[in-house]
Structure 1
Amino acid sequence: MTGPTVPRSTEPEPAAGWAPTPALGRAVLLAGLLLVAGVLLGRVDLIVLAAPFALGTAYALRRRPTALPQVWITPGDDGPLVEGGDVTAAVSVGNPDTVDYDLVVLRTRVSPWLRIFRAAFARDGAADVQPAATTPTGGQGPASGASRSAADRPFVTSVPTGSAVDLELVGRALRWGRHPVGPAGARVATAGGLLVSRAVIIEPVRVRVYPRTEPFEAVEAMPRAAGLVGAHHSRRPGEGGELAGVRRFGPGDRLRRIDWRVSLRARQLHVAATLSDRDAEVVVLLDVLAEAGRSGGVDGAASVLDTTVRATAAIAEHYLHRGDRVSLLEYGPSARRLRPAAGRRQYLTVLEWLLDVRVTSSSHEPYDQVFGPQLLSSDALVVVLTPLLDERSAQMLARLTRAGRFVVAVDTLPTDLSSPKDRGWAEVAYRLWRLDREIMIGQLREHGVPVVRWAGAGSLDQVLRDVARLATAPRVGGR
């Protein structure tokens, strides 16, 4: 990752960016005092003693630097990065000047969710390894008191003229999101340590870490399929793979549908009737009004937002793999949405969309802002990922159910959410809150809103079976 030359995108800075060091002041002061003392006292030995200081300072300053160092950050080119994967990046320092940089002090910041455990300078194919401050022991996140990263300290090197040196960072991504590498800064000393540059700061570069997809499989049928093609069997006859029965041959029937066994036995042509295969639209609604729990990264505890994002990625992957259309909505002040689509491109778009999910508190009711006119299809399955920490979330679920939508609520509150450790009434208040939340969930189920806790594979099978049964049941119409 070492570049032989420095990029020419940045013009050299003027010499005003350089300042004398205390060493230059001491050398000039000492040489001046010795010369003045030698002249006043008539001591030749003092003049001879001052000569090395004067000549050495003049020799070191014979070529002054005219350009400041260049710093840039290059993320690793290892393809899509997922939680728990290895992350690489490089912080480069270039020398566009005509003099060598005797000393370069480089320092960079790295997101606490990127655990850097090895840092090395690469120069001409060789790696000058800098000892790491710590070595990770299994992916503890910042919330669990992880120790200091190897990148949180200064690094020292030298850079010849017209070349660049790379500080290679190798580590592990602990959590999904857009994590910054940087800002990075460098200061340079040259002319034998007599001149130092001002600090050159570069803006951070964001590294995209996609959520790890939890295992998820839903084998139950969709409540109602409305598309033209897909993997779900509808109740309408048509081209498909699900056998609906055998009937007599009629006009428009295809010859390849003839059932010869039944035809020979009945002495009349019969064809196999099938049900049409249709796709479905799945709307995943993310409740971002509240957060609870502390995130411990990919190997630690999961907060509400962690469970929401990872479950959304798993649900979207499952239904998009089956050919369904998937759309995303945020129930919050921003009301972000992703249009419904199918295919692998939509899955990649879903992962990119999830990187910007944030919990945003608001005092107003976002229902009308989120569910605009003709936004939800009447045949769509709405999967709501919510911790049920806000009364507005429960009211939203009830309103969707009363509107005739097929709604499934997924509880994302951590099961290991501990009670407050304070003395007094904190424990009693926590129990009352838990009891009030259980009552709210019971009321939602009485209103026809199925609530299930997210548990990976098979989490929604029983709920989808009940919703599909309700969708196929005859409805009583009022006069």
Structure 2
Amino acid sequence: MTWRVSETAVAYAVAAALLLALGVVAGRADVAVLGVPLAGVVLWGWLRRPLGGASARIARTRPPAKHGEVAATLELQAPAGADAVWVRVEAPGHTALHALVRAEAARDIRVSIESVRTGRFRMFAGGWLGIGASGVTRGAPEVISGTTVTLTPRVRALRELPLPFRLQGLTGGHHSRRAGDGGDLRDVNPFTPGDRLRRIDWRVTARRAGQGTSAAGVAVDGRSRLTELYVRRTFATADATVMLVIDSRDEVGPDVTAWGDRLPARHDEATSLDLAREAAASLARHYLDQGDRVGMVDLGRSRAPVPSAGGRRHLHRLTQRLVLAQPEGDPFGRVRPPQIPSGALIVLFSTFLDDQSVNTAVVWRHSGHRVVAVDVLPMPVPDYLPPAERVAFGILRLEREERLKNLVRSGVELVPWEGSAAARGRNDAPVQLTALARSRVRR
């Protein structure tokens, strides 16, 4: 690093020279003496100028103290002779932080911000400047490159969630309609080859044989004899297959003036993708905790979907795919909907601003799948629109409402997520999901 004389030192030197010259010309020793301290400060600062370079970088991210907080550590390395370091740290959507900190050999500074957004962002970029003794010298401005931070969605607690029409698998946490090893009683049936002996219900067998039989099945009074055994059959347990479908073709926030890629979305307001990530992560956590199999499809990308699986590691895999979901270029039209496993429950997270997501959901519903549509369009704020654009927004809103009505008429179950336009400030998404879980829907 190259250290040079600062503007403050130049001003001190010029003032000292003027005072000395004025004192000599006017024959005033007292005036000339006033310039001596200024000249001494410049000389002292130059003789004690720092030797060597300094460094400032974002070393690592710190665990957040609460959800929505992003924290990192700024490492400062100042050479001997430096008095202070001026630092500027920036983050998208936030006011830049300017600070003058005392220079030390090594110092760690904690920087943090709060954000409602999710995804991957470049944060804590900025610059720094070393200041020598008495501000006489300073280093050249340097850049802090920042670091890439991954903001994961918040996971909300849910009580009950809807299940597909047909459960699959040989074991799981839900009761199926077929007989097998489970908990709930299905019926009492005569013993057949293949039934386990431990399932024999001796009470029912004795009751059917008559009250006069002994334990060996021999008639006591000659009226009845034990000729047939009866077993208790239970409902088998099974797991559900759930496919989460994310519509990442567009990302809009509450500010309507920023729609259409004219302005970047604000970082203090949650966008449609932020709501979709939160809803999808919450549902995935609940289903996986119950032992179900969860997969994911992104309508905005042509890459292969995440296959359905279970376990904690799979939840991490789904969360990472949700974080990376974002609009890429112009939305492309699909010739046909993505392939979904047979009998799976489909949960579609979309803003429903066009017909493609609606048509895809209707095709899946007509194919026999149970489809739940989650509305994640934030509450629009069209206050700053010109009159012509306000009329266009009114037409868009009416088209969207008609599109949602057609979706419900097709048999798709609609649930507005918290913060969406349809929710209107209410927090009843878990309640509606519980109602869908307890309702009987025709196939």
Taking structure 2 as the reference length, what is the TM-score of the superposition?
A: 0.76
1:279 corresponds to which of 233, 239, 245: 239
Match in the other structure for 2:77: 94
Q: Does 1:71 align with 2:15?
A: no
CA contact (8 A) 1:223 1:464 kept: no
Structure 2 Cα separation of the partners of residues 426 and 330 of structure 1: 31
Task: State the partner residue of 2:211.
Answer: none
384 and 439 in structure 1: CA distance in 2 versus 1, 3 angstrom threshold? same
Distance 1:110 1:273 in 2: 63
Q: Which aligned pairs between 1:35-434 and structure 2 lie closer than 5 A?
A: 57-74=42-59, 77-78=62-63, 82-83=67-68, 86-95=69-78, 97=79, 99-112=80-93, 152-160=96-104, 163-169=105-111, 172-218=114-160, 220-266=162-208, 267=226, 268-294=228-254, 303-333=271-301, 335=303, 337-360=305-328, 362-366=330-334, 371=338, 375-414=339-378, 416-417=379-380, 429-434=392-397
- Write the distance in 2 (CA, Å) between the matches of 1:167 and 1:358: 32
Give structure 1 stretches of 5+ with no counterpart.
Answer: 1-12, 114-148, 471-479
Aligned residues: 404
- CA gap of 1:336–1:420, structure 2 versus 1, over 3 A, is farther
Report SS of the residue matched to 1:399: helix
**1:43-69 superposed Cα distances (whole Å, 9 cap, x missing partner):** 999999887766665544335434221
Cα distance, 1:201–1:36 mapped onto 2, change above 3 Å = same
- The residue type equivalent to 1:385 in the other structure is F
Please give the alpha-carbon distance, in whole angstroms, between the structure 1 residues aligned to 2:238 and 2:246.
26
Q: 2 CA distance for matches of 1:411 and 1:174?
A: 19
Tell me if the contact between 1:333 and 1:362 (Cα under 8 Å) persists in the aligned partners.
no
Superposition misfits of 4+ residues, deviation over 6 angstroms = 30-55
Match of 1:3?
Answer: none
- Describe the shift of the 1:438–1:41 C-alpha distance in structure 2 as closer, same or farther (beyond 3 A): closer
Q: Would the alpha carbon gap of residues 207 and 219 (structure 1) be closer, same or farther in structure 2, given more than 3 Å must change?
A: closer
CA RMSD of aligned residues (A): 3.9
Residue 137 of structure 1 corresponds to which residue in structure 2?
Answer: none
Q: Deviation at 1:392? A: 1.6
8 Å Cα contact 2:116/2:270 also seen in 1: no
Taking a change above 3 Å as real, the CA distance of residues 451 and 157 of structure 1, as seen in their structure-2 partners, is closer
Does the Cα contact within 8 Å between 2:178 and 2:236 map onto a contact in 1? yes
Q: Which runs of 5+ in 2 are unaligned?
A: 209-225, 256-264, 418-427
The corresponding residue for 1:138 is none
Supply the distance in 2 between the matched residues of 1:171 and 1:237 (Cα, whole angstroms).
56
CA distance in 1, matches of 2:329, 2:23: 76
Contact 1:225 1:280 in 2 (8 A): yes
Q: Which whole-Å CA distance do the structure 1 matches of 2:85 and 2:36 have between them?
A: 30
State the one-letter code of the partner of 2:125.
Answer: P
Matched, 1:458 2:439: no
How many percent identity over aligned positions?
30
**Which sits farther off after the overlay, 327-336 or 239-248?**
327-336
Pick the structure with greater CA Rg: 2
Shift of 1:437: 3.0
Shift, 1:208, TM fit: 3.5
SS where residue 134 of structure 2 aligns? coil
TM-score (norm. length: structure 1): 0.71
Q: Which stretch shows the higher mean deviation, 461-470 or 389-398?
A: 461-470
